[in-house]
Structure 1
Amino acid sequence: MSFYSQVERDALESIPVFRKYSLRWPDVYLGLTTMGHNMSLSSLQRTLSLALESGTSDSLTKEHPLSAELMVHPGYPSLPGDGGCGEGPDDFSQSLEREHELRVLTDPALSAMFHQEGVSVCTFRELLTRT
């Protein structure tokens, strides 16, 4: 919980910097409670629904469509002695949870849920061009 609280504090402290340089950032950040083995279609749907509910009451939605960033780390685990970042594979890069996230994110049911909720997936570059 301490880690999650610190991530939230860091994010809130970055807002003045983003504003100073007129940088756009997602309105909602999702993923701390849905990453790794906690990721499932139902957990993503629940988290997205809560975010959409809180975001629709925000005045930002009058200026631009509500945007959300979903933190994910999909992929295949690195092999011991091969891959990873910096000094080689660490626990994170070797985690089987990365492959679990990949399976959830590529499940057609997730795309169907996004469609049903009116969610469109985009890149940060595309986000910058949306008003």
Structure 2
Amino acid sequence: MAKHKIYTMSFANVYPHYVKKAERKGRTKSEVDEIIRWLTGYTQEEIDEQLEKETNFETFIADAPEMNTSRHLIKGVIYGMRVEEIDEPTMQEIRYLDKLIDELAKGKAIEKILRQA
């Protein structure tokens, strides 16, 4: 079976869409970065490096320093799929990120997005 095209897409190509989606709803790039750091364990410098290298999404997820252990608390539908029911691990991690950015754009408090409250 062929890989989904999101795996081969450059994270640097998708990242501006995350930022634009957040900013259209009055949120900030720094909040997007905070979400990415929380989920993946990357530092800001490492995120910037991945963007500069144009790392593909599959590698971005696979090389993440430490996926957050609370990510299993992320629930809901994104792109017509329930994130908690996605079987393929890499796709689930990508959709977790999509879901968190969606929550940010919908005005959810950052503490709730990061499952802190």
TM-score using structure 2 length: 0.27
Q: Where is the helix percentage greater, Structure 1 or Structure 2? A: 2
Greater relative CO (CA pairs within 8 A, separation 6+): 2
Larger Rg: 1 or 2?
A: 1
Q: TM-score, normalised by structure 1?
A: 0.25
